[in-house]
A and B are shown apart, each in its own frame.
Chain A
Amino acid sequence: MTGPLSDVSRALRTLWVAGAGTPDPELLGEVARAAEAARSAGAEGLAEAVDAVAEALAARDARALFEAQLQVWARLRALQRGLAARELRERLVSGAQAEAEAETDGWSGVFHPIGAVVVPPRVQVHGVDDDGTWRTFMERSIHVDGYDAWSGPWISRLFQAELSLGRALSRRWTVRDHPGIPTVRRWVGKPAFRSRPVVGSKGSEAKDIPSLPVSERMGFGRAEVVAQRDPKNGWTVRSGGHRVRLGPCLTFNLDKLAAVEGPTVRRDAVVLAGSGERVLLQWGTPPCFPTLDPGACTWRANDVRTKATGGWGAVLRVLLGPWIGVSPPEALASMDGFPLPQDGEGSGGDDRPKANDQAFWRQWVGQLAGRPVAAPAPGLVAALRGAAAGEPVGAERLLQALWSLEQGEALRVEGAVLFQVAALRPVPRDGDVLEAVLQARLARHGVLGNPEVRDEAALQEAFVERIEEEAKAVARRLAHDGVLPELVELFWLGDAVAEAREVPRDQGVGSLQLGAERIDRAAVAVLGEWMGSAKLVSDDEVLSFAVVAGSQRMECFIEK
């Protein structure tokens, strides 16, 4: 076939070189021979197209000749390429040998998760199959939250999907032909290329897990876990004489339990024995996972409600109404039943010389429960005027006063006072978040900063810029390990950020996007002490709960 095609190709080339106006005398003969060759090779369509070229040449019809040679070119090209590809295909078929040996099969079955060990980016999920064989899936995940692996996003190589560890651990998995390595004690699977487990809709079955012998160095089973808190060294957790790994999530859960159960916590748990230490996987029925889930241990709503007594307790009931089952009207009526204490009274037994700011919190939680602020609190207005007269008034108190004036729409009335207050404020030190937020707010109202800038939009823009800078500075400070935030600073910074970013002001702390671990640790230090003692509610607890609510972490503190 190659020969006839070459003849046609040559004829076409001659046509284009010689031209159709004064054709080569031998061209017609060459075209006729090419047509004959194509016909003899069985390419009838091509032969007809070449005949059309010959006819157009003879008739000296330039238009028909151009179209005819185009058809020849197209057919010739398709034939040449198609034949070459077919030849290649035949060569590949004849060169082929026997099928390669079949790939070895992996494990197929149902996997019941028992617990997970997360050390980012490594994730190990331990469980058993229907026969009770220990099976482990391990991976280096693309992303996993080391503190809140339970509900945080887990971008898994194993599942080749984004899910949460909480969802994966509370359901059985269907595994099909997953490659793995069987060892003496267990089977280990890693992310596979063509196989991934499927998380089912059914919950994981409670399997009978045997006790773990004290001397066991490799395996998992039931064992008592004893956690003891020493005021000097913090928590020590042991199981069968072995140390149990203590992470930030377990510490947080133990801190909450200690408030109710005291400094020693005992649990019958499922632990994993490893090299030199054990890892707590789960405890309780239904199982909870205190090493993965910050909300695994919570305070009972009834306990919190019972402890919320007195005037500050009534304020707290309004704030925690949705979580402790108190309706807003009932909570507000209860709060109104307590007279507002005077300055210096009712600070929860704290003998610090501090001003009473219950008026602010009553207005703040009241507004949260749907009661608008009718007028600024007189005590706060008095404090503001005192600050204008040179009395030492803290930044927090002034922020409360500003908030109350804003909400009571009485800012203009106190305009001159604000100017005087602003004039007396010191230059904010680096890290003094409250002073920075206060001065940003004063500048927002045009009483501080560049006196030539009075345009509302420009003032708002400057306010947003300053607050965003302060939020970034706080995030930078908290990036260092061990730094705990001041809750009062978070509250006021969150309030300002919420206003700047136009989100609900009671959810401002959440919009700061700070790590949940730091907020939990700072809040549990205050709230755990209060829950574990006979101490009355004070402004510290209200503020701490306000920050917890604002960062949407309440379900980690009070039962769902």
Chain B
Amino acid sequence: MAPDGPLDEPSTDGPGTVMLEAVPRVRAVLRDLLRHGLQRVTTGTGVELAAASQWAHHARLTRVERELMALQAQVDKYLARDPLFRTDAFVDRVNRLAWRLAEIEHHLSDGRTADELVPLVGVPRRRYEPIDGELLVVAVALRTWVSDTGFMGVTAQLWAPEEERMVEVGLARPTDYFGTDPSRLVFQLLNDAIGVSMQELSHGAWHLEGIKLSADGRISLPGDAWARPAASPLSDALASLRCDDLLQVVDRLMDDVLTPIDGGGGAWVYLEPAAIGPRRVDDTRTEATATLVDRRGAEALLRVPLGAERAQQVENLDHLSRPDTRPDGLVVQARVVGDALHLEPVTAVFHDAVQLKQRRRTLEVQLVHLAAEPLGMVRR
């Protein structure tokens, strides 16, 4: 819970002091918003929020700045009588922002420095730190994406045993020049110097040398980086994500559910289902689903949103239930939404290596990445 009561004299560093000065000013704007109420907001309110986001910007409160801008967009939506405006969402956003401000103020008053609060305040641009020596990574998942801002990309999720967390390597290209099919990027080399494609990286284990890593686990591959194959403790990597049944999945997500801010991101989970039902396509909800039954007999839905960039994933959902292509396990992204468990299947895991035929090549793999590889072309 956010702290109440008067605050002591700040004992933080220089940037922390600037932040501490900005927090009450931003909070005062929110308080004004409550005083006037939504029914009395005007275009002037939007200007006030824009000014507050500038204060936040100069105080390097990046997340606060972005939330203020989003709040301004919601106010504009309200003023434009946009039917998609939701009062609950507005109240949620204002209070999430107020809660974040209270947390920042509390930590800074406790003497913590601005650098220690990066997860809370954010950074304008990620800082990548060079890694000494090698980093062992084991591929676990591969996702493709297309953004509203005109970019598409592919992101490999890798388990780093030494870091005991997931890290990721991404490739992104503008859709104006490269089209909107991100699955083609899978065959591109990571960079000109490393003769390893994204698809090769996303199977097996690798020693990465000369790389840089950001605090949130993104890997940068400079020109002098190097990748060489390593032994593949896939079972070790998946053991850290493993849940025996759906109950364990919900338990793992409980912290994420109860976090007032920055929650809802879900978790990577490895599951070995007892059965998977046939695929159903729901055009009304624009999603394809299949029932997953865990070893205790409990059920949850595997969901994939319909969309051009998800075509392969939707196609593969059909093959998850077929006896000849049914995997031994699944890496899913799990989230609790309301009172439902949402599982998005990302990787099919085979305990024994299988032959995967793709583009006139036959690979021997244990993972089939559902967003980019055809599960139907698997031969045991």
* Cα distance A410–B331 in the bound complex, in angstroms: 70
Q: Is the CB of B87 within 8 A of A16?
A: yes
Establish whether residues A18 and B95, one from each chain, have CB atoms under 8 Å apart when the complex forms. Answer: no
Is A245 located at the chain interface by the 8 A CB criterion? no
B58-66, B126-134, B253-261: which lies at the A interface?
Answer: B253-261
| CB pair A99 B296 closer than 8 Å | yes
Say if the beta carbon of B99 comes within 8 Å of chain A.
yes
CB distance from B199 to the nearest CB of A (A): 15
User: Which of A19, A70, A98 has the largest number of chain B CB atoms within 10 A?
Assistant: A70
B67 CB within 8 Å of chain A: no
Report B235-260 residues with CB < 8 Å from chain A CB.
Answer: 235-236, 245-247, 250-251, 253-254, 257-258, 260
Q: Mark A144-184, 1 if CB is under 8 A from B, else 0.
A: 00000000000111011110000000000000000000000
Report chain A residues within 8 Å CB of B364. 140
Structural contact, B296 and A19, CB atoms closer than 8 A: no
B231 and A155 form a contact (CB under 8 A): yes
B102 at the interface (CB under 8 A from A): yes
Q: Is the CB of B298 within 8 A of A95?
A: yes
Q: Tell me the smallest distance from the CB of B263 to a CB of chain A, in Å.
A: 8
Of A13, A62, A96, the contact of B88 (CB 8 Å cutoff): A13
Q: Which of A66, A78, A93, A160 contacts B30 (CB 8 A)?
A: A66
Query: Which residues of B lie under 8 Å from residue A97 when comparing CB positions?
Result: 296-297
B35 within 8 A of A: yes
Which residues from 68 to 89 on chain A have a C-beta closer than 8 Å to any C-beta of chain B? 69-71, 73-74, 77-78, 81-82, 84-85, 87-89
- A99 touching B295, Cβ below 8 Å: yes
B84 interface hit (Cβ, 8 Å): no
A62-B35, A88-B250, A88-B339 given; A81·B258 CB < 8 A = yes
Are B95 and A92 in contact, with the CB atoms below 8 A?
no
Kindly identify, within residues 275 to 331 of chain B, every residue whose CB is under 8 Å from any CB belonging to chain A.
294-300, 328
Interface residues of B in 64-97 (CB under 8 A from A): 87-88, 90-92, 94-95
Interface of A is mostly: helix
Whether A85 lies near B2 (C-beta < 8 A) is no
CA–CA, A95 to B98, complex, Å? 40
**B39 at interface by CB-CB < 8 Å:** yes
Contacts of A9 on B, CB cut-off 8 Å?
Answer: 88
Q: Is A413 an interface residue (CB 8 A)?
A: no
Tell me if A21 counts as interface (CB < 8 A to partner B).
Answer: yes
In chain A, what residue has the closest Cβ to B351?
A193
Residue B125 at the chain A interface, CB threshold 8 Å: no
In the complex, which range does the number of interface residues on chain B fall in? 35 or more
List residues of chain B with CB within 8 A of the CB of A95: 297-299
Q: Which chain B residues lie closer than 8 Å to A93 at the CB level?
A: 247, 298
Choose from A18, A140, A194 the contact partner of B39 (Cβ within 8 Å).
Answer: A18
Evaluate contact between B34 and A19: CB separation under 8 angstroms.
yes
> Is B340 positioned at the interface, with any CB of A under 8 Å from its CB?
yes
Tell me if A63 counts as interface (CB < 8 A to partner B). yes
Beta-carbon contact of A74 and B353 below 8 Å: no
Residues of A within 8 Å of B341, CB to CB, are 88, 92
Say whether B123 faces chain A, with CB atoms less than 8 Å apart. no
Report yes or no: A190 in contact with B339, Cβ–Cβ below 8 A. no
Task: Give B18-69 interface residues, CB cut-off 8 Å to A.
Answer: 27, 30-31, 34-40
* Contacting residues, chain B, for A522 (C-beta < 8 A): none
When distances are taken between beta carbons in the complex, the residues of chain A under 8 Å from B245 are: 96
A residues near B247, Cβ cutoff 8 Å: 89, 92-93, 96
Give how many A residues have a beta carbon under 8 Å from the other chain's beta carbons: 54
Looking at A9, A91, A92, the one whose CB has the most chain B CB atoms below 10 A away is A92
CB of A142 within 8 Å of the partner chain: yes
> Do residues B352 and A142 form an inter-chain contact, with CB atoms below 8 A?
no
A12 interface contact, C-beta 8 A: yes
Contact of A160 among B35, B88, B235 (CB under 8 A): B235
- Residue contact A17 to B39, C-beta cutoff 8 Å: yes
Question: Does the CB pair B35–A21 fall under 8 Å?
Answer: yes
Q: How far is the CA of A21 from the CA of B353 in the complex (A)?
A: 68
Q: Nearest Cβ in chain B — how far from A155, in angstroms?
A: 5
In the bound assembly, the distance between CA atoms of A17 and B40 in angstroms comes to 8
A192 at interface (Cβ–Cβ under 8 A)? Answer: yes
| Among candidates B2, B37, B235, B258, residue contacting A16 with C-beta atoms closer than 8 Å | B37
Query: Which residues between 23 and 67 of chain A lie within 8 Å of chain B, taking CB atoms?
Result: 62-63, 65-67
- In the complex, whether A186 has a CB less than 8 A from a CB of chain B is no
Are the C-beta atoms of B231 and A161 separated by less than 8 Å?
yes
Closest Cβ–Cβ distance, residue B331 to chain A (whole Å): 14
Query: How distant is the Cα of A520 from the Cα of B231 in the complex, in angstroms?
Result: 29
CB < 8 Å neighbour of A142 from B87, B91, B229, B339: B229
* A70 adjacent to B339 (CB under 8 Å): no
CA distance A92 to B297 in the complex (A): 9
Contact between B95 and A74, CB atoms less than 8 A apart: yes
**From A13, A88, A162, contact of B230 by CB (8 A):** A162
Q: How far is the CA of A92 from the CA of B298 in the complex (A)?
A: 5
Please tell me if the beta carbons of B229 and A74 are within 8 angstroms of each other in the complex.
no
> CA of A9 to CA of B204 in the docked complex: distance in angstroms?
49
Q: Which partner residue on chain A sits nearest B30 by CB separation? A: A66
Q: Is B234 an interface residue (CB 8 A)?
A: yes
Q: Are A100 and B37 within 8 A (Cβ)?
A: no
Closest chain A CB from B271 CB (angstroms): 13
Alpha-carbon gap, A161 to B138, bound state (A): 12
Closest beta carbon of chain B to A76's beta carbon, Å: 10
- B257 near A82 with CB under 8 A, answer yes
Smallest distance from the beta carbon of A81 to chain B beta carbons, Å? Answer: 5
Could you jot down 25 A-B contacts, CB within 8 Å? A9-B88, A16-B87, A16-B91, A17-B37, A18-B39, A19-B35, A20-B35, A62-B34, A69-B34, A70-B95, A70-B99, A74-B260, A77-B260, A78-B258, A81-B258, A82-B257, A84-B257, A84-B336, A84-B339, A85-B339, A93-B247, A96-B245, A157-B232, A160-B235, A194-B235
7 extra interface residue pairs, beta carbon distance < 8 Å, beyond A62-B31, A67-B4, A191-B352: A13-B88, A20-B35, A71-B1, A74-B2, A92-B246, A155-B230, A160-B232
Chain A residues with CB under 8 Å of chain B are: 9, 12-13, 15-22, 62-63, 65-67, 69-71, 73-74, 77-78, 81-82, 84-85, 87-89, 91-93, 95-100, 140, 142-143, 155-157, 159-162, 190-194
